[in-house]
Amino acid sequence: MKHSFYYYILLLAFAAISCSKWNEPSALVVQDLNLDPYTNPVYKDYLDHLKTYKTSKHSIMLGFVGKWDVTAYSNKLAAVPDSVDMIALLNPPSTFTDAQTADFKKVQSEKGTKILFYLNSKTMSDSIRNNPSMFTGGDSAAIATYVGKVTDQLSKGGYGGLVLNMEGNVCYTCNSVFTSQQKTSYLISLLGKAVGPVSSTGKLFMVQGEPKDVGASNGNYFDYFIANTNTSSFYYVENAAYDLYKQFTNFSNDKFIVTADFTQVADAKAGGISFYTNASGAVKPASLGLAGWNTADGKKGGLAIYSIENDFGNNYYSYTRGAIGIQNPSVK
């Protein structure tokens, strides 16, 4: 069961009470928590409101999931709070089990949460170099072959988009496939035919990496730009990262995403590393401090949390839910 739906039911119950006489003897009937939108109109109404929220203008929450094996409820995508906008699978399986397929569809189709394929360019380069018989005809041909495999997975899996990690992977002196900016741009242009604003497919394209890694002129391919601030403890580091990312074409403050890291269990329990929110020395857990941080030009695009599933044990994603509330406070 999802806690957010419980809250929704309670709100409806309180609304019913407030509109009736307090001394009325009739009992208050609360609908069974039947999570079937086809037979439960209350749940359907909840889902309709949820999807409307996700298509509205707001600072998004992106969760990177490292462990998705659906053997326990805590490892299911369905366990992630409904108000998380997107989930990126750090280790996307080549094929889904029946249980994974059901979990995937419930979250993306029913709740409107976009499930994203995560592509690390270093992993891609290593795979190409380690399998020369599979990737023939030079680096450009190998890149095209690999991208073909990725887009095939995107289509078959029904993903809502892709996150490309290009951090530090343009290597001019090592055995990387990406020995030039030209090859990086070629990769991005191929992916951009399947995802992102240039593709007109409606599928999201996010990039993680600085302008020097991605190519500042490639910004028109992306919906969002992710700055890795996992180890950042000070607000001015975010300010500097934002100024750096302004080099991208088609960039704006509402496309800029910062990150917190829950990979280590101790960090997850604390809500992330300590983050200094201002010059006065006010300290908050990174997830909450970064949620409240915004650019000099206005609200940021959102916050991403690595290994978000490790927040499940904190009273059911308390830091994630708290960060969402800070980014998008309720209208009073």
- Domain CATH number, residue 313: 3.20.20.80
Task: Summarize the chain as % helix, strand, coil (round to 5).
Answer: 45, 15, 40
Are 90 and 118 within 8 A, CB to CB?
A: yes
Q: Are residues 35 and 67 in the same domain?
A: no
Residue 67 and residue 48 share a domain: no
Q: Are both 167 and 217 inside the same structural domain?
A: yes
pLDDT at 5: 52
In a domain, 299, yes or no: yes
Cα separation, 179 vs 182, in Å, equals: 8
Same domain (yes/no): 104, 16: no
Output DSSP code: residue 92: -
- Could you tell me if 113 and 186 lie in one domain? yes
43 and 68, same domain (yes or no): no
Q: What total number of domains does the chain contain?
A: 2
Q: Please check whether residues 52 and 199 belong to one and the same domain.
A: no
pTM reported for the whole predicted model: 0.88
| β-pair partners for 284 | 275
Whether residue 68 is found in the same domain as residue 43:
no
Could you read off the pLDDT tens digit of each residue along the chain, which spans 332 residues? 445 554 444 344 333 333 333 333 333 333 445 566 557 788 889 999 999 999 999 999 999 999 998 989 999 999 999 999 999 999 999 999 999 999 999 999 999 999 999 999 999 999 999 999 989 889 999 999 999 999 999 999 999 999 999 997 766 667 788 888 899 999 999 999 999 999 999 999 999 999 999 999 999 999 999 999 999 899 999 999 999 999 999 999 999 999 999 999 999 999 999 999 988 888 999 999 999 999 999 999 999 999 999 999 999 999 999 999 999 998 66
End-of-domain residue from the set 56, 72, 96 = 56
Statement to judge: residues 293 and 147 lie in one domain: yes
Q: Say whether both 103 and 33 belong to one domain.
A: no
Are 102 and 163 in a shared domain? Answer: yes
Its domain, for residue 213, covers: 60-327
